[in-house]
Structure 1
Amino acid sequence: MEIRDAHFPGRAPLDAYGGGGFRFAGMSHLGSILCVPSGIHGWNAAGFEDLDITAFQRFFDEQQDIEVVLVGTGKDLRPLPADLKQAFRDAGMMVDSMSTGAAVRTFNVMLSEERAVAAALLAVD
């Protein structure tokens, strides 16, 4: 049996969040997610302490198709470390942290406007 990383191959608005996961495209995912141009991927980050440069590698791999990165930091807004923000700037991406709920709402609006947006969203209960 082959076990693959969670992945939805496409861009889709997020229908719901909470209960430790997300709903989108008629499916649900338990845990955190990354929304990038190549699709929606499961993300191993469980909490704010997991947010380092390696946790965001997929964004740097797809940077040519991303202008804005939204980071949902959980129930509360937490500012990203300066070195992480600088790495995004150096790669030509604007990064903004906010609570996961605010990031989900902002992602959906920007996606509907066909903006080059991506999101890293920590799951919340």
Structure 2
Amino acid sequence: MADPDGSPFLPRQVPIDGYGPRFFHFHNMSHPGSILALPSGIRPWTVERFADIDAAALAPILAEAERFELLFLGTGKDPAILKEPLKALLREAGLRFELMPTSAAAATYNVLLGEGRLVGAGLVAL
């Protein structure tokens, strides 16, 4: 399937099966680059580095904020800090969020998704 903008889109949440340098595997598919795993599905995310996250990058997450409770932001290989104005956007939308290296974020997302929790993730490719 494809998003209205034509980008690839899996219209449901599924576990992240694997990841590596610049790719993610999920539902027998592979995607090069960062991804968003939200209640509406999994789609590409234009973020190449954690430092690239801005209000525009968070817009698709904020658009679905009422559909989930907890967001995991995968920061790439290393821990990182989200700028305070961006934290405020997430909080104002009612989202709790955790920042952690992408490997930990993907694993935690999988566990909570498997428990039926209302979760989402923005995962920066390694």
Q: Normalising by the residue count of structure 2, what TM-score does the alignment of the two structures yield? A: 0.93
Give aligned-pair identity as a percent. 41
Local SS of the residue matching 2:17? strand
Code of the residue aligned with 2:84 in structure 1: it is: A
Report the counterpart of residue 17 of structure 1 in structure 2.
19
Say which of 71, 94, 97 aligns to 2:96.
94
In the other structure, the counterpart of 1:42 is: 44
CA distance in 2, matches of 1:110, 1:53: 26
| Secondary structure of residue in 1 paired with 2:80 | coil
Provide the rounded CA distance (Å) in 2 between the counterparts of 1:37 and 1:81.
25
- Aligned Cα RMSD in Å? 1.4
Q: Please identify runs of 4+ aligned residues in structure 1 that moved more than 2 A.
A: none
2: distance between equivalents of 1:95 and 1:23?
23
Following the alignment from structure 2 to structure 1, what is the Cα–Cα distance between the partners of residues 91 and 41?
A: 22
Shift of 1:13: 0.2
Corresponding pairs, count: 123
**What is the 5 A alignment of 1:72-83?**
72-83=74-85
Q: Which runs of 5+ in 2 are unaligned?
A: none
CA displacement at 1:12 relative to structure 2: 0.2
Deviations along 1:26-61, whole A, 9 cap, x unmatched?
Answer: 110000000011100001110122111110111111
Q: Structure 1 stretches of 5 or more lacking a match?
A: none
Please, what TM-score do these two structures have when normalized by structure 1?
0.94
Residue by residue over 1:59-114, the C-alpha shift from the partner in whole angstroms, topping out at 9 and shown as x without a partner, is 11111111111000100110111111111111100111100000000000110011
C-alpha displacement of 1:19: 2.2
Structure with greater strand percent: 1
SS at match of 2:24: strand
Secondary structure in structure 2 of the residue aligned to 1:7: coil
